[in-house]
Amino acid sequence: MTAGVRYSCLLLLCLTALDQSHTAQNCIDKHHIVTVIRQMEKFLKGQETRFAEGLRIMKSKLAALQNTVSKFPPADQHTVTCPTLEAPQHGRKFGSKHFLGHEVHFTCNSGYHLVGPGTRVCQENGSWSGVNTVCKDISECSSNPCQNGGSCVEGVNQYKCVCPQNWSGSHCQHQTQTAPPEWSVMNDPAFSRKPRCAKVDRTQQCSCDAGFHMSGTSDNSICQDVNECEVYKLDRAARLCVHACVNIPGSYRCSCPSGYKLLGDGRSCEDIDECLTSQHNCTRGTTCINTGGGFHCVSPECPKSHGNVSYVKTSSFQCERNPCPMDSRLCHLAPKTVSFHYLSLPSNLKTPVTLFRMATAAAPGRPGPDSLRFGIVGGNSKGHFVMQRSDRQTGELILVQALEGMQDIEVEVDMSEYLERTFQAKHVAKVTVFVSPYEF
């Protein structure tokens, strides 16, 4: 029995005794009675507080449970899915999800062009948007590559020229009776040597130094330079130089284009970073971007103000939207941030390859989005890219068709954030790709 209960019982007995007898000597005095009453008040108040806290916690848990259950789809509601799409013949497919709102992208192999939509979306009725996509063969002979009356014969992703009489070469560009050996340097004294000759068993034997070959008759022979650059020009697997081969007497050397330097192996080229080595002429207010063989001076500008939408530049490559009026729906739908990105690529880069990633992050103390949507919304990319989700909070910009330089390509991608299917914010990234004219 607790102290409070004992005091309560004692108080009750004393009050009963006082009522029967007006004598207080056999019971506790008035001071003890007041003390017991105050202890009882504290005890009851503590019990009341704990009971109220228990009710509050129980109500909070019931509300959370009800909120969770309300988000479940009805028992009779089925998840919308679309049938599996196959990659077109001579093409590729990107995207493996077949649920409502998901996208599938298509591209064609080299030598074929896309007929039909490059992107199809799973719709609410369980079907894909658009029509079936096919890849059709690009005619190799459409550019009339054969010269001097040659006939073009189509092959699988290639062609062959059938040349008329007295003409030869891959494009019928050489006259048979006049064309000298492509690998031999003629009529240039600097590329000729006298052979080394010696009599062996009464027979004269002649030879040439490395890098030369014997030409002429046995009585009047000469060593002519072998043009190694021409010998290996058509054999890409045994290519002597990554860029240009320069023939020299008895040998060769490799050279690199402007903006590149020759590496220690004597055949490979490496880009010179003009921005890092301060070999650029970018003025104040612009930023130097290194590219293959050169550089660009850039100074991206924020979108122009319109209506209640305006932007402020927070860094060299990012703009942020100023706070919107509460009643301006147009302002809230405008991009919250606009960022600028610059990439340098070699020509004919092997695809597919991921170039750029876009992700979201929640502010401290605030819930992040539970759904993201990515897309390509602008630029002059002409179907070279697709934008797809790589995980729950990241999207990837993927190059799916090789780019041939020299050219500059712009692609604008966006990321929309949703919380409980309600639009929250949109972010735009403007990506500029500088494609080098070289494959290194």
Domain count, the chain: 2
Residue 2, pLDDT above cutoff 50: no
Residue 377 included in any domain: yes
Which residues 6+ apart lie within 8 Å of 221 measured at CB? 195, 206, 214, 215
Q: At 4, give phi and psi (nearest 5°).
A: -60, -40
Q: At 241, give phi and psi (nearest 5°).
A: -125, 145
Could you tell me the CATH number of the domain that includes residue 95?
2.10.70.10
Residue 23 included in any domain: no
The residue from 163, 180, 213 where one domain ends is 163
Residue 251 included in any domain: no
Residue 253 included in any domain: no
pLDDT at 73: 54
Answer whether 105's CB lies under 8 Å from 119's CB.
yes
Residue 425 included in any domain: yes
Which is more confidently placed, 367 or 423? 423
Q: How far apart are CA 372 and CA 329, in angstroms?
A: 20
Reported pTM = 0.57
Answer whether 309's CB lies under 8 Å from 334's CB.
yes
Q: Calculate the alpha carbon distances from 316 to 298, 302, 319 in Å.
A: 10, 10, 8
Q: What is the 3-state secondary structure (H, E, C) of the chain?
A: CCHHHHHHHHHHHHHHHHHHCCCCCCCCCHHHHHHHHHHHHHHHHHHHHHHHHHHHHHHHHHHHHHHHHHHCCCCCCCCCECCCCCCCCCEEEECCCCECCCEEEEEECCCEEEECCCEEEECCCCCECCCCCEEEECCCCCCCCCCCCCEEEECCCCEEEECCCCEECCCCCEECCCCCCCCECCCCHHHEECCEEEEECCEEEEECCCCEEEEECCCCEEEEEECHHHHCCCCHHHCCCCCEEEEECCEEEEECCCCEEECCCCCCEEECCCCCCCCCCCCCCCEEEEECCEEEEECCCCCCCECCECEEEEECCEEEECCCCCCCHHHHHCCCEEEEEEEEECCCCCCCEEEEEEECCCCCCCCCCCEEEEEEEEECCCCCEEEEEEECCEEEEEECCCCCCCEEEEEEEEEEEEECCEEEEEEEEEEEEEECCCCC
* Lowest mean pLDDT segment, chosen from 67-71, 171-175, 278-282: 67-71
170: left (phi over 0), alpha (psi -120 to 50) or beta: alpha
Could you tell me the CATH number of the domain that includes residue 358?
2.60.40.60
The residue from 114, 142, 163 where one domain ends is 163
Residue pLDDT, tens place only, 147-194: 876 766 565 556 777 676 666 777 877 665 444 455 566 667 778 888
**How confident is the model over 431-435, as a mean pLDDT?**
96
pLDDT at 184: 63
Domain that holds residue 83: 79-163
Residue 347 included in any domain: yes
Which is more confidently placed, 189 or 276? 276
pLDDT at 271: 95
Residue 40 included in any domain: no
Residue pLDDT, tens place only, 80-100: 889 999 999 889 999 888 888
- As a whole number of Å, the CA-based R_g of the chain is 42
Residue 392 included in any domain: yes
The residue from 133, 163, 193 where one domain ends is 163
